[in-house]
């Protein structure tokens, strides 16, 4: 059998993402925007497609409409190749009026898809992480070691064990214990500070998975990490695949090898954005040999009249006119007016930063019109009266908090302003003298 022959993938995209609130107030976690034009779900889908796995079911649940629209617009596979598809599957409720009760239950409710497709291997992957992975290498490991189940793993700090499934292995990579989000764990061999954690990416032999799902359903069990994997330890070969061995073409020497981030909190989501910035980023978004695909972009090119811009991303259709950007991430169609200053900010689609507004350490969700002279991120106590503020001081302005105001539009780019010289260099010196 070839490396990727007859592999069916299920992507768990039903996450509510409560720790990312208010970014998830109107969208599910996998649909949350990331970087200039991506969404979180694009990473797992790109990894699967780049790995020549083209048969993908996306299991959705909470607030899924924006995700469904994104998949429809961005991930339509050709209709001429029947087994090339990315298909969204909401709860079918074929076994009763209930939503997905857990990760395993979401697959069980769609067990007919496995039986109809008749794959050799089923990949069950999460949709919540920022990373690159060649799944073919994990498939090779799985088959070479006659595994029934393979679990992708990587080290995490002991203090973070309560956020992951923690595994213990023997010298042959066989998993001897699987604990879902334990309060504490023993360090992995060779380390006093880290334990080995599941990435939430699994490969199952199809017959093994079908049998395990049916047995779990009969016993009222609904989750892979809590129920199915621990129960299989004595009867099946569960192996830990070391994500650190995964090699991706086109990775630059300065990038962090094996980069993987669980962007489940505002702080981790915020920091991951800035890992992509600069000439030598930890995670370079532009890798032609292993692209992260994004939605089609019909917007015009960004326009920059003048300003001071340092280590920032300016999305298509955006306008920067005499503003100062320092570690700013602007998505599509963002307008930043004169004398505004953005420092360590993420600004989402169709937002406007008014004349003289000052914003730092903040996430501005889409469709916000920040008033002229507004200050955000300078008085956190005052900000908490209006916005969500994390313990580390990141301010999140919810979608549409500042509705589009009926105010006079700014002077068009390049137009004469009273008292100003028309020379672009003079404009720049005057704006930031």
Cα 408 to Cα 352: distance, rounded to the nearest angstrom = 13
Cα 240 to Cα 233: distance, rounded to the nearest angstrom = 12
> Which residues are paired to 197 by β-bridges?
154, 166
Cα 200 to Cα 163: distance, rounded to the nearest angstrom = 11
Q: Which residues contact 75 (CB under 8 A, 6 or more apart)?
A: 45, 86, 293
Cα 25 to Cα 19: distance, rounded to the nearest angstrom = 11
Tell whether 214 is in a known binding site: no
Tell whether 180 is in a known binding site: yes
Tell whether 2 is in a known binding site: no
Note whether 341 and 323 are within 8 A (CB): yes
Q: Which residues contact 202 (CB under 8 A, 6 or more apart)?
A: 123, 124, 125, 149, 150, 151, 152, 224, 229
Cis peptide before 22 (omega within 30 of 0): yes
Q: Which residues contact 40 (CB under 8 A, 6 or more apart)?
A: 29, 30, 31, 32, 34, 127, 128, 129, 130, 263
Tell whether 16 is in a known binding site: no
Where are the alpha helices (H) located in 132-205, listed in sequence order?
A: 135-144
Tell me the binding residues for alpha-D-glucose 1-phosphate: 165, 180-181, 198
Tell me the binding residues: 165, 180-181, 198
């Amino acid at each position: 059998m070839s490396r990727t022959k007859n592999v069916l993938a299920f992507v768990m995209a039903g996450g509510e993402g409560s720790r990312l609130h208010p970014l998830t107030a109107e969208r599910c976690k996998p649909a949350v925007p990331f970087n200039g034009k991506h969404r979180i779900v694009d990473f797992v889908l790109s990894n699967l497609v780049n790995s020549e796995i083209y048969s993908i079911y996306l299991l959705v649940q909470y607030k899924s409409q924006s995700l469904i629209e994104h998949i429809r617009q961005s991930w339509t596979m050709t209709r001429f190749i029947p087994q090339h598809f990315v298909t969204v599957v909401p709860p079918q409720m074929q076994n009763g009026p209930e939503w997905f009760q857990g990760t395993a239950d979401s697959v069980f409710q769609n067990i007919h898809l496995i039986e109809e497709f008749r794959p050799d291997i089923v990949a069950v992957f999460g949709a919540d992480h920022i990373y690159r992975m060649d799944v073919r290498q994990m498939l090779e490991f799985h088959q070479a070691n006659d595994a029934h189940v393979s679990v992708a793993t990587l080290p995490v700090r002991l203090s973070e064990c309560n956020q992951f499934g923690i595994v213990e292995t023997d010298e042959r990579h066989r998993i001897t214990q699987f604990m879902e989000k334990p309060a504490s764990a023993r360090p992995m061999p060779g380390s006093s500070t880290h334990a080995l954690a599941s990435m939430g990416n699994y490969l199952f032999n199809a017959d093994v998975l079908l049998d395990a799902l049916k047995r779990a359903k009969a016993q009222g069990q609904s989750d892979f990490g809590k129920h199915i994997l621990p129960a299989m330890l004595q009867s099946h070969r569960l192996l830990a695949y070391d994500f650190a061995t995964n090699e991706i073409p086109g990775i630059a020497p300065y990038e962090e090898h094996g980069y993987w981030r669980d962007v489940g909190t505002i702080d981790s989501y915020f920091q991951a954005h800035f890992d992509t910035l600069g000439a030598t980023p930890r995670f370079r978004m532009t890798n032609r040999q292993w692209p992260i695909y994004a939605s089609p972009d019909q917007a015009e090119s960004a326009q920059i009249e003048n300003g001071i811009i340092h280590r920032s991303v300016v999305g298509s259709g955006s306008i920067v006119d005499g503003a100062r950007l320092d570690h700013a991430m602007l998505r599509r169609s963002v307008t930043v007016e004169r004398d505004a200053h953005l420092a360590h900010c993420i600004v989402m689609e169709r937002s406007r930063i008014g004349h003289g507004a000052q914003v730092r350490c903040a996430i501005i969700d889409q469709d916000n019109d920040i008033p002229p002279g507004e200050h955000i991120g300078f008085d956190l106590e005052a900000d908490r009266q209006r916005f969500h503020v994390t313990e580390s001081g990141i301010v999140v302005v919810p979608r549409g908090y500042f509705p589009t105001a009926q105010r006079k539009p700014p002077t068009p780019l390049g137009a004469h302003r009273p008292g100003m010289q028309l020379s672009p260099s003079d404009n720049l010196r005057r704006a930031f003298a």
